[in-house]
């Protein structure tokens, strides 16, 4: 009987539809032809080779460089009832023999191999297998032009040549044009067709924050983590030392966190990774080595503590968030120091020019003042027609003003200090500071001393960095970070040229909280109690089977169960991610929980104010709650007012200013105590929000 890809998709993996290109790629493979597949992380590459592998009657070889990835994929496949195995340096000699036996007896459908193992066994037992298809994952590793070259990959061509009648598929999430040609050549693919799917991951918000001093950066990260409490996330750092620093900072703030870098021994690294995968550690602070090959679908956020080396790496790393398609946040911190440091590294390595060029592109992206997603995607050859609405630039578009006079003040300060001082001294001089160093150097006698008193310290720093970015001054890292004026800078100083500056981004958390724009399900629609029960069941099943929880069902599937509440086999099979095998194995258990929940006659939905109250008790501010729930702040304030009126312990007085309450009291009385809020809102000429009016009224009524 002819097995059809769509049937496999539904019955094995539990999905109704293919994602773009998946079906074409599968069909081409089934027709015996070679392909190169470019899809972003989380785009669904695995399905492209797993489905043909299940249709061919023979064995499929999957080459993958990452041991953790193999293990993860094999576990996920087995959970769906697929006969999969892996063969790499992590398994015992005894297990090796077992795998070889199973493979030779035709009991394995997909066999994952590391490239070095593959090469070492290619002339022995591998030869005798009925190989029908070969998939090469992370194929960019074969290319010198990639950023992750692995010499063993170049030997895979031998395999291609010895298996001439078998289709090959190379897959990667990162390959620019030169790397693509290289992959095809190096692997010896024949008449290979290139498939590129959209790299646009709309569920990821993009935010970049530049020149944030370390202390503030740590504090911002701490707040970010609080806002995303109980969600999994990764923080990428440049150095081992900073991974440890950041981890201990967050740990002392009470968060579940571990660090990960190449200095840990293999066992320790494995342990840290496993704890992350199984959700027992929520946050990992790591050097870039972490995460490759982790198919953890519920990573909700990624922070870069430093500037990544190139956009390929950056995109791959942020791509580890939100693989389940749910809204996820990413934030990049950078400063010029990272840039200088990397430039120096690049000078010492191979491919210097290319690496430096890539680094420059990375910096340009970080400094951009237009939609970041458009810049990012155009780098990967994809041109969006509209701004994304889900990056910091789209959400807080910069406003320009004529900055010539400001620039001249700064430039003249630099000139008068003979281009020997750094940014801090300059700002102190401009602001007329009584700092001892200023006096010691005699700078308080300069003409520019105090010329920029009206601008705050942080704003000055922002402007000066803009001057550097626009090429008016150079920061000489080799000379104690002294500022030097460029020829362009002199032109501005002499009044021969004007320049534009943007207002420093507001540092208020509020403006940033607009990020995460993509709508999420209103929590009140979800049966949170049921969800909690389902998660408990999932965790205990995962512990029993000794696999990560998401291997049983991912969050998306559980959310769907909690809202659709299926209690029949057919309804259960409709849940995304439920195939026949999982239905048989787990269906009854999950449906029992759902049935029990249904029959207990409790209100179907948790009252929306109740959710607000829980979050309030957890210490979140109304803004934070609004952000979490994707509701307006004024709605949350109204909830709090209602809770207060009901006698719940809500400290409303702390949330509304005295003056506002008085204003409302006057309007309330003037209007003869109306039953509605609207007249008060109008009486106050819309200066006080509905939420604040409700809170004030609640306080006024309680007082009486
Ligand atoms: P990649 O290997 O490209 O990083 P994966 O193959 O791991 O991505 O897929 C990412 C997620 O998307 C997985 O959870 C996978 O089950 C899911 N997925 C893949 N294809 C589909 C599909 N057609 N419908 C629904 N979910 C899919
Ligand atoms: Zn945008």
Measured distance CA(222)–CA(525) in Å, rounded: 30
Q: Is the CB of 691 under 6 A from ligand 1?
A: no
b/e burial code for range 90-102 (CB count within 10 A of at least 16 → b) = ebeeeeeeebbee
Q: Is the CB of 19 under 6 A from ligand 1?
A: yes
The pLDDT, as a whole number, for residue 122 is 86
- Whose CA is closest to atom 12 on ligand 1? 44
CB-side exposure of 110: number of CA atoms within 13 Å? 29
Tell me the longest C-alpha to C-alpha distance in the chain: 94
Tokens of 556: 């998306």
Q: What is the pLDDT of residues 46-57, one digit of tens each?
A: 999 999 999 999
For residue 475, which of 224, 221, 211 has the smallest C-alpha distance? Answer: 211
Q: Is the CB of 15 under 6 A from ligand 1?
A: yes
Q: Which residues touch 512 (CB under 8 Å, ≥6 apart)?
A: 207, 392
Helix 311-318 vs helix 352-367: crossing angle, to nearest 10: 60
Q: Which residues of the chain have pLDDT under 70?
A: 1-2, 146-147, 292-295, 346-347, 349-351, 477-478, 505-526, 601-606
Q: What is the pLDDT of residues 439-491, one digit of tens each?
A: 999 999 999 999 999 998 888 988 988 888 777 888 776 677 789 999 989 99
The pLDDT, as a whole number, for residue 350 is 63
Burial class (CB in 10 A: 0-12, 13-18, 19+), 634: middle
Q: What is the 3-state secondary structure (H, E, C) of 510-541?
A: HHHCCCCCCCCCCHHHCCHHHHHHHHHHHHHH
The pLDDT, as a whole number, for residue 602 is 53
- Whose CA is closest to atom 27 on ligand 1? 44
Rounded-to-5 percentages of helix, strand, coil across the chain: 50, 10, 35
Q: Is the CB of 299 under 6 A from ligand 1?
A: no
3-class secondary-structure state, position 563: helix
Q: Which of 15, 47, 84, 328 for mutating ligand 1's site (highest number of atoms within 8 Å of CB)?
A: 47
Measured distance CA(556)–CA(554) in Å, rounded: 5
Measured distance CA(153)–CA(171) in Å, rounded: 13
Ion ligand 2: protein residues whose beta carbon lies under 5 Å:
371, 373, 387-388, 391, 394
Tokens of 138: 């992370």
DSSP annotation of 195 reads: E
Tokens of 576: 């995304």
Q: Which residue has the tokens 């105090």?
A: 450
Helix 457-469 vs helix 423-430: crossing angle, to nearest 10: 130
Closest atom of ligand 1 to CA, residue 137: 2
For residue 239, which of 344, 358, 317, 342 has the smallest C-alpha distance? Answer: 342
Burial class (CB in 10 A: 0-12, 13-18, 19+), 685: exposed
The pLDDT, as a whole number, for residue 325 is 82
Cα angle at 226 between 221 and 227, to 5 degrees? 95
Structural domains present in the chain: 5-196 (3.40.50.300), 204-380 (3.40.50.300), 400-504 (1.10.10.10), 528-599 (1.10.150.80), 608-703 (no CATH)
Measured distance CA(672)–CA(294) in Å, rounded: 64
Where are any strands of DSSP class E within 486-574?
500-502
Give the length of the chain: 704
Closest atom of ligand 1 to CA, residue 554: 14
The pLDDT, as a whole number, for residue 525 is 46
Ligand 1 center–CA 203 separation, angstroms:
15
Closest atom of ligand 1 to CA, residue 556: 14
CA–CA distances in Å: residue 208 to residues 219, 225, 333, 393, 535? 16, 16, 6, 9, 34
Q: Is the CB of 316 under 6 A from ligand 1?
A: no
Residue 419 CB neighbours (<10 A): 15
Q: Is the CB of 515 under 6 A from ligand 1?
A: no
The pLDDT, as a whole number, for residue 601 is 56
């Amino acid at each position: 009987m002819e097995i059809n890809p769509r049937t496999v998709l539904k019955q094995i993996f539990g999905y109704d539809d293919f994602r773009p290109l998946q079906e074409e790629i599968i069909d081409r493979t089934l027709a015996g032809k070679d392909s190169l597949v470019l899809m972003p992380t989380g785009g669904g590459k695995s399905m492209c080779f797993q489905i043909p592998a299940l249709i061919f009657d023979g064995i499929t070889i999957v080459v993958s460089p990452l041991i953790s990835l193999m293990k993860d994929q094999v576990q996920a496949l087995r959970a769906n009832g697929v006969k999969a195995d892996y063969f790499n340096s992590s398994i015992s000699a005894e297990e090796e023999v077992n795998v070889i036996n199973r493979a030779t007896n035709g009991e394995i459908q997909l066999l994952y191999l590391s490239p070095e193992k593959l090469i070492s066994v290619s002339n022995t037992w591998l030869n005798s297998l009925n190989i029908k298809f070969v998939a090469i994952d992370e194929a960019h590793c074969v290319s010198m032009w990639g950023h992750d070259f692995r010499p063993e990959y170049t030997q895979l061509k031998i395999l291609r040549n010895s298996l001439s009648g078998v289709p090959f598929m190379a897959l990667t999430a990162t390959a620019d044009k030169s790397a693509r040609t290289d992959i095809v050549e190096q692997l010896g693919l024949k008449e290979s067709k290139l498939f590129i799917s959209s790299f646009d991951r709309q569920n990821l918000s993009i935010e970049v924050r530049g020149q944030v001093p370390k202390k503030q950066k740590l504090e911002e990260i701490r707040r970010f983590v609080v806002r995303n409490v109980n969600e999994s996330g990764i923080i990428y750092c440049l150095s081992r030392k900073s991974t440890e620093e950041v981890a201990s900072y967050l740990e002392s703030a009470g968060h579940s966190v571990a660090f990960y870098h190449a200095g840990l021994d293999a066992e320790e690294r494995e342990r840290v990774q496993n704890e992350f995968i199984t959700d027992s550690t929520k946050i990992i602070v790591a050097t870039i080595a972490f995460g490759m090959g982790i198919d953890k679908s519920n990573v909700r956020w990624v922070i870069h503590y430093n500037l990544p080396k190139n956009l390929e790496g950056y995109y791959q790393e942020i791509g580890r968030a939100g693989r389940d398609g749910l809204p996820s946040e990413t934030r990049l911190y950078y400063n010029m120091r990272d840039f200088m440091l990397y430039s120096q590294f690049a000078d010492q390595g191979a491919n210097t020019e290319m690496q430096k060029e890539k680094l420059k592109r990375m910096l340009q992206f970080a400094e951009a003042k237009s939609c970041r997603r458009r810049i990012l995607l155009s780098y990967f050859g994809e041109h969006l027609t509209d701004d994304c609405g889900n990056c910091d630039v789209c959400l807080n578009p910069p406003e320009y003003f004529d900055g010539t006079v400001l620039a001249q003040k700064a430039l003249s300060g630099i000139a008068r200090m003979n281009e020997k001082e750094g940014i801090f001294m300059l700002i102190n001089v401009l602001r007329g500071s009584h700092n001892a160093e200023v006096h010691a150097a005699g700078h308080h006698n300069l003409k520019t001393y105090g010329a920029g008193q009206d601008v705050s310290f942080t704003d000055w720093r922002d402007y000066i960095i803009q001057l550097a970015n626009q090429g008016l001054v150079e920061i000489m890292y080799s000379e104690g970070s002294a500022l030097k004026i460029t020829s362009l800078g002199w032109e501005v100083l002499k009044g021969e040229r004007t320049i534009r500056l943007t207002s420093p981004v507001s540092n208020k958390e509020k403006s940033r909280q607009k990020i995460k724009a993509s709508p999420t399900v209103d929590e009140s629609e979800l049966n949170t109690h049921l969800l909690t029960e389902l998660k408990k069941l999932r965790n205990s099943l995962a512990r029993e089977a000794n696999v990560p929880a998401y291997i049983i069902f991912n969050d998306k599937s559980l959310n769907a169960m909690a809202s659709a509440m299926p209690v029949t086999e057919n309804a259960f099979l409709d849940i995304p991610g439920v195939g026949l095998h999982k239905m048989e194995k787990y269906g009854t258990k999950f449906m029992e929980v759902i049935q029990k929940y249904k029959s207990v006659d409790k209100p179907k939905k948790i009252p929306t104010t109740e959710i607000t109250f829980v979050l309030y008790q957890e210490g979140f501010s109304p803004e934070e709650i609004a952000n979490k729930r994707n509701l307006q702040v004024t709605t949350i304030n109204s909830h709090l007012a209602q809770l207060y009126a009901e006698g719940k312990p809500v400290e409303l007085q702390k949330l509304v200013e005295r003056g506002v309450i008085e204003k409302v009291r006057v309007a309330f009385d003037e209007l003869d105590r109306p039953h509605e809020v609207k007249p008060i809102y109008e009486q106050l000429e819309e200066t006080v929000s509905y939420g604040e009016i409700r809170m004030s009224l609640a306080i006024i009524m309680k007082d009486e």
